[in-house]
Homo-oligomer: A and B are copies of this chain.
């Protein structure tokens, strides 16, 4: 992470996540250079990565814009993620070691701890959640699957500012994870797949409800 292009990537990504760069807005490479404090060469490399992760998009004439996800885009992304991550859960069920299952339990204890407070710590929840899912993908032993998912998982976080997490939603996620762990402990691929499917599909509807009935179809 000490390379200039990595720092540029992190810096630009942070700006996108914080909302300092708004969806649909044009950005120039020079702008991003100033922002990251490096020259255009590493910035261009970082931009390629972000384009690949669909956080930035190029117009037909190569001009650069912050991605603006429509409701359809989000639904599509969730559908793809569900397909791939169900597959990962299925594979993981027969491949997880006892140590890895213990890791999942640890991550989910952290997750529930973040929720079981007077005021839930959403950032802590998100980090534990990310770790939980990452461990499953890791255990699926399918490096290309992992690469594909990497492109899908992070993108919608862009919209997290718009989202209102209810404590009940967060708790339900914890329970889903518990059942997932049970399916893994039973070495039951079908069970794991099914739980993952309902987990992600519920997440989609929670997300859709939070963002609004039109799911971002009205742009600002």
Contacts and interface: CB of A to CB of B under 8 A. Distances in A.
Interface string A73-90: 100110010011001000
A148 B151 contact: yes
Nearest to A155: B144
Contacts of A178: none
B45 A76 contact: no
A103 interface: no
A84 to B, nearest CB: 8
Interface residues of A, number: 21
Contact of A80 (B41, B52, B77, B142): B142
A80 B141 CA distance: 13
The dominant DSSP class at the A interface is helix
A185 interface: no
Given A83-B83, A83-B87, A87-B83, A145 B76 contact: yes
A54 interface: yes
A152 interface: yes
Nearest to A72: B141
13 contacts: A41-B41, A54-B144, A73-B144, A76-B142, A76-B143, A76-B145, A77-B144, A80-B144, A83-B83, A83-B84, A144-B152, A148-B148, A148-B151
